[in-house]
Every structure is written in C-alpha cells, then in structure tokens.
Amino acid sequence: MTPGDLSAAFVASTGLDGAAITTFASGPGAETMDASDATSARIDELQLDLGIGPGWDAHATQASVLASDLARDERWPALRDACLALGSRALFAFPLAFGGMRIGAVTTYAAEPRTLDDDVLARLTERTRSASMLLLLDTVREADRDTSRNPRSRRTVHQATGMVLARFGVSAPDALALLQAHAYTVGLPVAQVAADIVEGRSRFLDPEPAATDGLGEERP
C-alpha cells in the first residue's frame, strides 16, 4: 500500500465527496500526498498556495476542524470563496499523527452543507490512525531517497523557492511567502508562477531595473 491509495478510505461509506492527504514538514515543505478526485486535489493546492485552511488548522491544533456550511464560515475567506466556486460547500479536516508524532492532515469535502454524525466521525477517526501509520512508514522508507516519488510533489515550487531565496538573500519561508504573494497578485497558482520562474519565462528574478541578461548573472 502506498500513500497513493490513502485518500479513498476517507470517502468510502462516509458520504463525503472527496479527500486529500497532506504532509506538513517544517517551514515551506507541505506536500499533497494523495487526493481522491480533482476537486480535492485543487482544494489542497489552494490550502498550500494560500497557507491557510482546515488542514493547516487540524495540524496546528491536533483536533478535527469542521466547517459544515462553508458559505457561512468566516475562518478562511480567500479559501472559502475558491472552494464554493469549485462546488465544495463543506470542509472537514483531521490531524494525521502517530504516537505523538505530527505528520499531516486529511482534508475532506462535501458538495452540500452537512454535519457529520458520531458514527461517521468515529469511522473517520479510525481511518486517520491507519493512514497516519502508513504515511509514517512511507516517510521512514522514503527518507533515504534523493528525489520524491510522489507524483503530486510541489517540486517546482521548492525549486523556485530556492531561486527566490538565492536572488533576494532571504530565508526559505520568506522566499516562499514572496512567491505566494506574487502568485496571489497575478492571480495564478503558485505552481504555475514557480514553473515560469524555473523555466526562465518570468521576470520576477530580474535585477532592478530589469536587465537583459537575467538568471545567469553573478551578483556582486
């Protein structure tokens, strides 16, 4: 079993419409490990792009985070509007931790506002335990690997973060924040902005005033 199979367990017999599994490393290292459908994948991308959302909160508080009617929820306005536009009207996130070790979160959505009864909540909680275990196993097993095998890895974002930190002489978290702010300003996903930077199509790293030779220039 791989992290690529994990999200489906949170959809089966829970009445939920999708689930995404996220790992939160220190600083800017969050990754989507698995998503059961395109909407879940997109919601998780939004959470990671914006740096806010129920998954982050579940991870930070180590408690479930329930937004049963997203339209009337004021916690994450930017995320909320994007989720509603995607047809997701309820979000529920649960921490993934094992024996006190925090790993990540699972974020589920429903197309209509709904509450989760005790039975479903118990089932979901039960599933977080085996998912946490399997994620941790995967982490231990993959720790020796240079390159992630996760097809959903945000490796381009990490690469662009490195370029931004080298260009502006800031820390990795600050470099990611710059990237996120830039993406938000131009209204594109962070991954898109990052790909443009890594492939040399963006002027974001240009010295000021904009020079003709960009990326290769040695700075004094």
Partner 1 sequence: MRATTRERELLETFVALSDTLVVDYDVVELMQLLVDRSAALFDAVSSGVLLSDAQGRVEVLASTDEDARLIELMQLERGAGPCLEALATGEVVAVPDVREVREEWSGFRDQALALGIHAACAVPMRLRGTTIGALNLFRARPGEFDVDDLAVVRAFADVATIGVLHQWAIVEADAVRTQLTYALDSRVVVEQAKGVLAFRHGIDVEAAFSLMRAHARATRQPITDVARRVVAGDAAVSPPAAD
Q: Which residues bind partner 1 (CB under 8 A)?
A: 1, 5-6, 8-9, 12, 23-29, 31, 98-101, 103, 129-130, 132-134, 136-137, 139-148, 153, 155, 158-167, 172, 198, 205, 215-218
Sheet with 31-35, edge to edge strand ranges: 31-35, 18-23, 101-110, 90-98, 65-67
Least distance between partner 1 and beta carbon 67 (Å): 26
Nearer to partner 1, 9 or 82 (CB): 9
Least distance between partner 1 and beta carbon 99 (Å): 4
Name the packing angle between helices 190-198 and 155-168 (round to 10°): 60
Least distance between partner 1 and beta carbon 135 (Å): 10
Nearer to partner 1, 77 or 200 (CB): 200
Nearer to partner 1, 116 or 165 (CB): 165
- Three-state DSSP state, 131: helix
Nearer to partner 1, 84 or 215 (CB): 215
Pairing of strands 90-98, 31-35: unpaired
Least distance between partner 1 and beta carbon 3 (Å): 12
Q: Which residues of 124-158 are buried (b: 16+ CB within 10 A; e: fewer)?
A: beebbeebbebbbebbeeeeeeeeeebebebebbb
Start-to-end C-alpha separation, the chain? 50
